[in-house]
Every structure is written in structure tokens, then in C-alpha cells.
Amino acid sequence: MPPRRISRGLNNMFEKFQCRSCNSPNGELILDLGEQPLANNLLPADAPAGVEAAFPLRLAACTECWLLQITDLVPPKDLFTDYVYFSSTSAAWVHHAAECATRYRSEFALDESSFVVEIASNDGYLLRNFASAGIPHLGIEPAGNIATVARGAGVKTQVDFFSQSLATDLAANRAADLLLANNVFAHAPDTNDFVAGLKALLAPEGWAVLEFPHALEMVRLGEFDTIYHEHVFYFTVTALVPLFARHGLRIVRVERTPMHGGSLRVFARHDGFEADETVAELLAEESAVGVGGLDLYRAFADKALRTQEELTENVAALKRDGKSLAAYGAAAKGSTLLNFCGLTAEDIAFVVDRSPHKVGRLMPGSRVPIVDADELARRAPDVALLLAWNFAEEIIAQQTGYVESGGQFLVPVPEVRLLGKSAKVEA
């Protein structure tokens, strides 16, 4: 499969654009990653060739509010009703969640009289920290298979998609003192409905805390593989302030976290509460580097193309030298990367993953077989392409046997590079 070529036609206005936040018709195409399969639609091992659906994957910018968004939607029920990503498979993410829960319990004085709601609560990786402390809680999780696991861990979970209507119904019984949304905000195609739902469910003195990848970091570092159909939006604070204000909410604090290649933690409250200096500082930073213009995105497109070329050249060179190649991490970003670069099972023998829910399946599009993580050390390929590069430090620490025996990791983002026994992992 040849590499997919991207469009860099930033001056070509495409037809029928309408911003999903401010409704402006003024938008510019940033990247066209071609038609791609759904990134988390892992295939059965015996799936016949040619049966996968593929959908356009294009990124655009609204030139009024500067919200980055994909142009072609796949219905959420096709993406999330039966899901293969279980948050608890990442030790780093579980640790991050536990630290957040401890902090929030103290900072917001949460106790048995409080009510905590998490949107897209997955397998209960975060709420179980509140459940064990006896704090009333509710997880809202659309994937029934994952909700079953959460309930088994003692986390009260409702199978549903979050919406303003659902939030209004829930608030009629009890409003949320703390409303959490980790790595879900960007997935909701009707972003106005989502924020209106936050407003409806939040108690008068409550806090909404959302974490999501920072679009500025994605653009700066060329993290184009973060783009897939589940991620409808790529947020900056510049785009979020008017969106929240439209629904009577105010962003009062912003923090950075290193998760997922650079994320933001946004604290929002009802209108009337004052914002601290972190909001103004980040708005100023985004303005200074060009969030309100197209040059920043032109550079992002150029970097994506360079990564594509460099990675395919590296893989071709390794194959010419007789090196064996595998991959680590059957992540959604890995699907975008493999398909964009035209890498298939002819190039990558297998991909290892720690999740038992993924082992035995095939990567979408590329059809690379997924095997257990222990197979990396056992089969010992010369090089492993690190698809889940955002967990590079955690993964390489787990794979000391592979590295000590001479194995190397080919890291694609933010720069294509080989890491081996003598190399240090960059944060």
C-alpha cells in the first residue's frame, strides 16, 4: 500500500463548511489524510480482505473562532457502542487518575454528602477512587461492554451518551458537585450540546474539570496521528472561551499536563466566578504563536508530510538491511499512522499490546496482527515501531529485556528516531 498523500491546499475553501461551535461558514482545509478505517475498529483475525468501511479524514479550521475540527462525521453509536479501549490497561493513566482523585477530594472538600459524575467513565479507572472513599458517584459510559467491567469494580455506571437532555434529567434528582470529563470532550460531535449539558448538571457552587489534548501541542509537535474519526475537535483555549461563555460557563483555571503528548486540564464554573491568571496567560501564549492565523497550520501540514516521508524511508532502509520489524501499541493513533504511511503486515510482522481485548485481532486497514506484549521479548524483532509514543517512557521501562538484548524502538513523533540501549527517552 503506497503512503497516503495529504492535501496542503490551505487557500482552497472547501464547500459547505459550517463550524460546529460558532456556526460560521468560514473555514479552511488544513489536512486531508485520505479515506481511513475507524481507528478502533479492530478486525477479527479471520476477517476477509476488502470488507472494511473507510471514511474521509480531513481536518479544518474555523477562521472565525479558530476551532480545529474534522469535516466528516461518523455517528457516535458506530464508534463507541462496543469499544476496545480500556483505560486501566495503562499503568501511567491509572496512576494519573488516582493522583487527580486524591487532589480533587481535598481541594473541593468532597465527602459522603457530595456527588461526583464522570462523563465517559470507561472501566471505572477514576471513579473507583471515589467509590472506595464512600463518595456518591455516577459514571456515564456509552459502551455496554466496558460499563459491565466498571460495575464489577463497584463503580455505579449508566450506559448512555452524555447530552443536555440526559444532564437535565440527572440534575432533576441531583446536581454534580464535581463533573469530570477526561479525553471525551473532543469526541462529542455536538459540542454546544455537550457544554450545555455541563451547565445543566453542574451544581451552583460546583466545578467541571475537563482534560483533553492541547491542539497547540499537537500542531507544534506535528502529532498528526492524533487525528482520527473519534476526535471531532482539537481544542485551544482561544476556541473554548467563547464556546463556554455561550452557555453561561466560564473557564476559571487552566493547567498543563504531559499526558497524551501534551494536554490541558480546564476548570469551569458557572458564569460569575472569576478566572485566574492562568487563563489570560495561555490565551496570550496561543495568540503569540499564531493560533488566530493559518501560518501555524501550514507548518503543521509540512511537518506531517516530512514525518510520513522520513518514517517510510526508515522502514524501507531497515528492510533493505534485513532487519525484522514489529510495532508496539495497538492504539488508535497507530491506525492513523500506519494507514497514512501505507505500512501493512508486509512491513510490520505484528504489533504487541497489553490489552487482552485487542490481542488476537488485526489493526484496521493495515491488517497487522495484534499479539500479547510479552511476545516482543520472546520474538525479539530488531526494531519495534512505537505506535503508542505518548507512553514511550512507560513502555520502554516495561520492555527492559527487549532493549537489553539489543532491540530498538523506532519512535515516529515528534521526530523520527531510533531509541535503544544507550538512548534516553525524551519526555
**Dihedral through CA 193, CA 197, CA 200, CA 206, nearest 10?**
-140
Mean pLDDT in residue range 173-177: 97
Alpha-carbon separation of residue 251 from 65, 273, 377, 388 (angstroms): 16, 9, 46, 31
Gap between the Cα atoms of 224 and 23, Å rounded: 25
Mean pLDDT in residue range 101-127: 95
Residue carrying C-alpha cell 484496521: 364
pLDDT band at 91 (very low <50, low <70, confident <90, very high): confident
**What's the predicted TM-score (pTM) here?**
0.85
Percent of the chain residues past pLDDT 90, beyond the cut: 76
pLDDT band at 421 (very low <50, low <70, confident <90, very high): low
pLDDT at 16 over 90: no
pLDDT at 8 over 80: no
Set of cell numbers at residue 379? 520474538
pLDDT at 92 over 90: no
Sheet holding 157-158, edge to edge: 157-158, 137-140, 116-119, 176-182, 202-213, 263-270, 249-257
Gap between the Cα atoms of 357 and 378, Å rounded: 21
What is the reported pLDDT for 7? 39
The DSSP letter of residue 126 is: T
Contact 296, 10 (CB under 8 A): no
What is the reported pLDDT for 96? 87
The C-alpha angle with vertex 161 and arms to 158 and 164, in degrees rounded to 5, equals 105
What is the reported pLDDT for 79? 60
What is the reported pLDDT for 377? 92
Mean pLDDT in residue range 42-57: 89
What is the reported pLDDT for 423? 46
Mean pLDDT computed over every residue of the chain? 90
pLDDT at 381 over 60: yes
Query: How many CB atoms within 10 Å of residue 363?
Result: 30
pLDDT at 241 over 90: yes
Residue carrying C-alpha cell 506531517: 304
What is the reported pLDDT for 14? 53
Mean pLDDT in residue range 354-376: 94
Set of cell numbers at residue 348? 510490520
pLDDT at 293 over 50: yes
What is the reported pLDDT for 15? 62
pLDDT at 101 over 50: yes
pLDDT at 192 over 50: yes
pLDDT band at 134 (very low <50, low <70, confident <90, very high): very high
What is the reported pLDDT for 5? 42
Tell me the three-class secondary structure of 241-257, residue by residue. Answer: HHHHHHCCEEEEEEEEE
What is the reported pLDDT for 271? 96
What is the reported pLDDT for 310? 97
pLDDT at 11 over 90: no
Mean pLDDT in residue range 396-411: 91
What is the reported pLDDT for 328? 96
Gap between the Cα atoms of 59 and 232, Å rounded: 9
What is the tens place of the pLDDT at every residue in 59-86?
999 999 999 999 998 876 666 555 555 6
pLDDT band at 426 (very low <50, low <70, confident <90, very high): very low
- List, in sequence order, every residue forming a beta bridge with 213; answer none if it has no partner: 263
